[in-house]
Structure 1
Amino acid sequence: MLISPAFAQTAPAAAAEGGMMASLTGMLPLVLMFVVLYFIMIRPQMKRQKEHKAMVDALAKGDEVVMGGGLLGRVTRLSEGYLHVEIAPGVEVQVQRSAVVQVLPKGTLK
């Protein structure tokens, strides 16, 4: 025989004791990786989304804004999901509220 009967009988008991601790130790790097991922990527992204939503909700008539495509303009009308923005005298476009990237200080546009 290759394995003695006494050694074969104690193997499952030893594996059960060390196996539980080994599996927890093996999962530790995975758990740590998710914790680091949360604090480096997920949490800052959620913070930026919350700030953008607050900025878009606070838009008012007369605000000067920058849109996603780089257009600058002044808000002329507001509706539920859209803004009417004057990008040149007599030229007004309708854009989604989420297209606004930044609100400029008053007087930036001449």
Structure 2
Amino acid sequence: MTGPVAVLIGPMAAGKTSVGRALAARLGVPFADLDALIVQEAGRTIPDIFSDEGEPAFREREARSLVRAVAHQRGVLSLGGGAPMHAGAASTLRDLP
């Protein structure tokens, strides 16, 4: 199998991370949060990235991070609320099995 077993999408503060952790534990698979992966990769917080680069650049970064996460994450993946709004991210999500 390739790609995550589940991808959680929804508005900010809807509980995607909490539900994702619980689902991953129940399924016995790893959990990843795309925002946390972006922070780890960038070495900066999401608000700092928004402030320094602006939202369009953040969304590009987010779309690239999603491609990497989909390629490597074999468990549950939670996305930031705005992630599916970027054309590149939406395309990546449509291509999931």
TM bucket normalised to smaller = under 0.3
Structure with a larger share of its residues in strand: 1
Q: Choose 1 or 2 for highest CA Rg.
A: 1
Normalising by structure 1, we get a TM-score of 0.22
TM-score, scaled to structure 2 = 0.25
